[in-house]
Copies of this chain bind each other. A is one copy, B any other.
């Protein structure tokens, strides 16, 4: 069975669709929680099911180092290994290699393992092979990700390599049941995004990642770059804005026509005592919440909001932070999945513009104070 994508409804340039993948169906637009090392931190896979997670991201870099693709393959692939069972996507490891200080040459990247300092080599072909052994539903090609701000020349070098690597990845592919997504780079230069999107689209992939964004640039710059890339990406293929979890960016990117997102922010913020709520971000560490019997978000129906008061969360943040993180991770993921559910429903109902305006009232201000927290920090 080949993976496929069907658009079920549109509202302006936004689309609601269905990804048909090896391990199941994924309604889009979709948010992927991040199971970096095989598990969303502190959130068992059974809880992901209860939350309605339909697509889960894991990290090629980390899993290739520990426990290794052989182990994962022997246990039946990543969906079985993680206990999630449903559709999974792996990023290529490129982002980690860049952010952790790898050396790029024309053929691939070399880096030292964060676990044992061992010298490791990733090539476009090697990454496809790893991801095929992981048996994931969606594999991302190895790309060259550039931190922003960056010189145009540096962005262009990265684009040339990324395009060449994308060709090699496409040629190396063996497993036709696994979707392979190309990745568009180009920084926040709109013309470069257009140019690179054309190059990657020309190679032909099952879907397209838009990478290297939300890494330090402003929100308008992010969205302009996304819009530029989308102009040159085929409308009948899924488009995935990588590493973006901010509700403001998600809402506007969905409006532009993006179909998928991932970010560690919901669970990372949770572990730092920050809740995502219908009123915006809520820091639960301040002592005033110790006396509060309100739920974390009175408008949320997740198991955390159904059971515990803010007072318990504030208390646990002081005396047992991991337990507080477990409670808030459930809530934040529930919030994020609810956001995407609302966006899908609005597209189907033709009411997306109104929903985006309402979300702006809550989430646009966060860009003034908290921009860095949306960085793709897996």
Contact = CB atoms under 8 A, between A and B. Distances in A.
A75 to B, nearest CB: 5
Size class of the contact patch on chain A: 35 or more
A25 B240 CA distance: 51
Nearest to A45: B307
A80 B293 contact: yes
A229 interface: no
Given A71-B290, A315-B71, A42 B309 contact: no
A315 B46 contact: no
B37 A81 contact: no
A222 B311 CA distance: 40
A113 to B, nearest CB: 12
Contacts of A41: 320, 322-323
A290 B309 CA distance: 39
A330 interface: yes
A308 B37 contact: no
Interface string A315-330: 1101110110011001
Given A37-B316, A315-B66, A316-B39, A82 B323 contact: no
B42 A312 contact: no
A306 B46 contact: yes
A37 B67 contact: no
A315 B83 CA distance: 13
Nearest to A323: B39
Given A83-B312, A291-B74, A293-B75, A42 B307 contact: no
Given A44-B326, A81-B311, A85-B307, A76 B293 contact: yes
A62 interface: yes
A13 interface: no
A267 B290 CA distance: 26
A323 B75 CA distance: 19
Interface in A208-228: none
Interface in A52-77: 62, 66-67, 71, 74-76
Nearest to A36: B320
Contacts of A67: 290, 311, 314-315, 318
Given A307-B83, A309-B83, A319 B37 contact: yes
Which of A75, A81, A309: most chain B Cβ within 10 A? A75
Given A307-B46, A319-B66, A81 B330 contact: no
A162 to B, nearest CB: 29
A316 B314 CA distance: 28
Nearest to A325: B322
Contacts of A303: 44, 46
29 contacts: A37-B323, A38-B312, A38-B320, A39-B316, A39-B323, A41-B322, A43-B323, A44-B303, A44-B326, A44-B327, A44-B330, A45-B308, A46-B303, A46-B304, A46-B307, A66-B319, A67-B311, A67-B314, A67-B315, A67-B318, A71-B290, A74-B291, A74-B293, A80-B293, A80-B309, A81-B309, A83-B312, A115-B319, A326-B326
Given A36-B320, A75-B291, A83-B307, 12 more contacts: A37-B319, A38-B320, A39-B312, A39-B327, A44-B308, A46-B304, A71-B291, A74-B293, A76-B293, A85-B307, A115-B319, A326-B326
Closest 10 CB pairs of A and B: A83-B308, A46-B303, A83-B307, A39-B323, A67-B315, A75-B293, A37-B319, A45-B307, A75-B311, A37-B320
